[in-house]
Chains A and B, each alone.
Chain A
Amino acid sequence: MSMNTQGRPTGAGTAASAGAFASTSGSSLLPNEPLLFEIGDTEHSGVDLPDVTFDESRLGDFARKTPLNLAGLTEPETLRHYVRLSRLNFSIDSGMYPLGSCTMKHNPRLNEKMARLPGFADIHPLQPVSTVQGALELMNELAYWLMTLTNTAAVALSPKAGAHGELCGMMAIRAAQKARGQGHRGVVLVPESAHGTNPATAAFLGYTVRSIGARDDGTVDVEAVKSALGPDVAAIMLTNPNTCGLFEPQVIEIAEAVHEAGAFFYCDGANFNAIMGVVRPGDLGIDAMHINLHKTFSTPHGGGGPGAGPVVLSAALAPFAPVPFVRKSGDGLELVEHAEGEALGRITAFNGQMGMYVRALTYMLSHGGDGLAQAAKDAVLNANYVKARLEKVFSAPFGGQPCLHEALFDDSFLDGTGISTLDFAKALIDEGFHPMTMYFPLVVHGAMLIEPTESEPKQTLDHFCEVMLELAADARAGNQQRFTSAPLKAPRRRLDETRAARAPRLKWEPPVDLPQAAE
């Protein structure tokens, strides 16, 4: 076999023994881990399966002729590879992760244990409903909690993530407008501070996006909404609490104006953690709102999913909920799988994210109604504490009022330092914290959005604030290098994103052998 100069096999197709327990450069705590395809090969396997033969296959003429070229590892190699890789990740369990808008709260392990009960993990979505009554009861109970927390008439559980929930809610609005003979309404109002998913969802459904500016205090002006409303407007998509971490004080007036104009109010519920158990969005006049179970209800983010984005619906939209949904039937529960009337069809193959439903309900039962309200209040307390400790140095564009679950700063405190928000955030990595959300919301220059969540103890918040203040002092003292060269202590220095995009390498390719390396 041929090897490259680092002693790695040059192709997944070449049988190699070099993979076993390969440890390359880097320390054991910050490993440089080769790719699976550089340590594994097509002969190694970590499973024992019998070799079976059959006289005559039923594959017709479709048997595979080309090789798969999939690298395999034995079990000990697999464990080491993925444990070593995991050490290159920052995570909630390893430190404060104050990513604004993302609600990086503690993920209880009871949730994980419950989701793995065979009665939940090992049931098929198309089993006879008589054999899955517990699953339907769980969905029903989760729906009850969500409707009670939001004071709404119905909930569509099946959306797979927040953006999928937005799509579902906006589809329900489109269907409702059509049913009213208002299908021609082609405009959706979206404030400038909105998450990118909002305008993307509206455009995805063929709506034209009409943008609404923010007031100087970071909130939406009911008068601006009124002047943007018209007979062509189908809906407004408003985030509340908004992406500046503020509760929209005129939200009830906005809802009234929207309804008066014959439009619907879609609320982006990404920030529901700030108000769960304290404010019911139904009382504010919303028609649809997705709830990110992976933010508010502690299901793990998992490095980017899976999420779950159930959508609560007002009475006006309830008839347009997608299938499937659970309904009482005699003394049991049934699963309605086929759309009746003008209801939406199916937005995903099966019943949505059952594994996430189990985790979210486990979290709700653990916290109780009282605990959820206290969690929301502590999340708001923590954000305001960080804001109070930092705002003498950091510039809070919408200061002078309490924030909700996240504190927003702009980059004016860095004026004249030659240091950007990005540099500052990367320096935070060297101090052991995950950076805050940067450059979002777009309405603030060089935004830094800090969401501590209720999970952070006071000592951690104090340490975080001290580090932030020390970094700010150092930035203003002219120590530019510390920031522009950061991070120094992470597994990697700054990565060249331009190079990645210019000539994309999106999968492993066998290296071309150098002549001296060929054997």
Chain B
Amino acid sequence: MTLQAFLQSLVNALPLMGRYALITMGIVLIFRTTATTNFAQGLIGTFGAFVITWAAMEWTTLPLWADVLLGMAAGFAWGVFVDIALIRSARKITSAGKQMITMGVMMILVNIIPKVFSKIVLNNLPGKSISTKNFEFELFGQFLYIPINGIWAFLVAVVLLGAVFLALKFTKWGLGVRATAANETVAQMLGVNTRLITAFSWGLAGALAAVGGFFTGFGTVLNVTLMGNVQVFAFLACVLGGFSSFPAPILGSVIIPLIYVFAGNPHIMGSQAGIWQNMITFVVVLLLILIFPNGILGKKLVKKV
């Protein structure tokens, strides 16, 4: 394998990292604040992608970023709705029970989204497109390329996630989230408005998912299964990194794309690589989880008796 192929693989992983990290961050926010593993996260992303595309085609005069904001708002609203309507009343239910509630949400969304939106694709609308052309550049004397929409996916994710992390660290909301994550009852007793905190976390997760969905589906015919694989990878990223802190899952969503691009690299895996790419990635990630059952950065929690 040449240096060029190696570097190119690394570059190929960047857009994936951006997309996975957006979904992963949402999953972690929801898990930490409401102890729910949200299986509808990918579908909220799909929903956001549909809304963005639909808005772009409906209101041709709006700039694309306004459509994206609109989709984020839709994802935000949906997240808040799920929290208020379901998760809030399910506080006494075990984590496994809440997980099943989100599976119910998933079942509903999977069946409703295709009925509400027809199959739509966003490309070649004047002024509404991000170029899918390659941006070529030189690194360590090697010529590399990256699709321009991929650069956007990576940069937007870095900016958004950076903002979320700064907010977690420095804002009152962030303090509230961390307090709620540590112990919801105590946080409530100390005057943290946990309802607002959890609703906002769900909403934020929905908004991030919408952006992730938009970049994943960009330029393809949107389909309800759009985020299926992304969600599975995002969940595995959480387990791989460790669910017990906010940055750890992001580490997972950086590692998995690296595995993915090398698993699909014909220089390593031979000409059949493309067919087995998904499967090899899954197997490698599962083996890594076997080595780190509590996550790479995670800690084992032991119940005191």
Partners in one complex: no
B residues engaging A (CB < 8 A)?
Answer: none
Residues of A within 8 A of B (CB): none
